[in-house]
Amino acid sequence: MPQEIELRYGANPHQKPARVFMPEGELPFAVRNGRPGYINLLDALNSWQLVREMARALGLPAAASFKHVSPAGAAVATPLSPAEAAACFADDLDLSPVATAYARARGADRMSSFGDWVALSEPCDLATAEFLRREVSDGIIAPGYAPEALRILSAKRGGSYCVVEIDPDYTPPPQETRQVFGISLEQRRNDAPIGPELFANRISERKELPPEALRDLIVATIALKYTQSNSVCLAHNGQVTGNGAGQQSRVHCTRLAADKSDLWFLRQHPATQALRFRRGLSRAERNNAIDLFFADDLTPAEQSAWEACFAEVPPRLTREQRHEWLDGMRGVALSSDAFFPFRDSIDRASRSGVSYVAEPGGSVREEDVVAACNEYGMVMAITGLRLFHH
């Protein structure tokens, strides 16, 4: 592998020249197709760490869909129900475990995953490449590629699709350095382990944490470790269902993550799955139409554009129907990268099926936050581990 690769450009096209390099030794990855840019590699190297850690923690293939250095989605390979497969636009495919993980990772927030960077903990197989063949994506990182999978991926985007192969055994040194405004900052790499023991300190009245809930808390917490802060993440059935990234207010993180999680569950509503789109409508256009299916108010132009997506315009779900469906959701896990300063995040989370909460603790109003969890019958674990990522 080379010691240095010239990049197309930096964060923006005018930021040239740009390169990726190792001060000593060879790079731990090779570019198998395309020519990645600066942001591509930021997404690739962050997302690879996420899926490698998630796979090791849970013993299952893991995948992530990354956009702008945060995961739009991440998941491990748990079986898809028919409704989940349809919500992921994967009900017509025979998925392998790693393809299932990626279908889940992309499926929860398909709008944000448009033009994503893909990360796989396992070598990319034919089933995953077939799924990716029809999705809009910028590139992929994996520890290997089946020959037929590499052929399919190398043909994407007119042959320019970025394919990066990472050395799965590479471990960086414990110290990491970055430069801002010509000034170097150094810190210990965030190598704090995330496993079942992290959630042992449960201070709520309810203490029970079933294996599935523990798995989902691990999924959400590892996702947070590689999400731009502030961040709150919701998970269910082994996948991120909503990720609220990069907000300055904790409750805004929660609202964003919970709103995205609600959309994931609403995509599984029988009325959503009964939608019949106009022939020739692209997958992105279908995603947009599904998103508007749940909107309360549309402008005349939005309404007209939405109706044009269907051969026969369906009745839209009412607010009451949406609330009735979401009220039946339970068992969602929520993790926060820092403490909740107020109970408002718990109040919002209660409307999105959250039953299990993990946060570092340390708020001066922690008693209020715990009381809110008790009021809603949630299990709350104090991890003692802040996970800011910048």
Query: Which residues carry out catalysis?
Result: 67-68, 230, 390
Report the alpha-carbon distance of residue 215 to residue 50 in Å, rounded.
15
Report the alpha-carbon distance of residue 60 to residue 75 in Å, rounded.
10
Is residue 370 within 8 Å of 358, Cβ to Cβ? no
Q: Rounded to an integer, what is the distance from CA 126 to the centroid of its chain?
A: 22
CA nearest neighbour of 383 among 188, 250, 218, 230: 218
CB environment 360-378: b (16+ within 10 A), e (fewer): bbebeebeebbebbbebeb
- Which helix (H) or strand (E) element contains residue 122? none
**Helix, strand or coil, per DSSP, at residue 123:** coil
**Helix, strand or coil, per DSSP, at residue 165:** strand
Report the alpha-carbon distance of residue 72 to residue 138 in Å, rounded.
14
The DSSP annotation for 181-199 comes to TTEEEEEE------SGGGG
Task: For Cα atoms 265, 71, 16, give the angle at the middle one, nearest 5 degrees.
Answer: 145
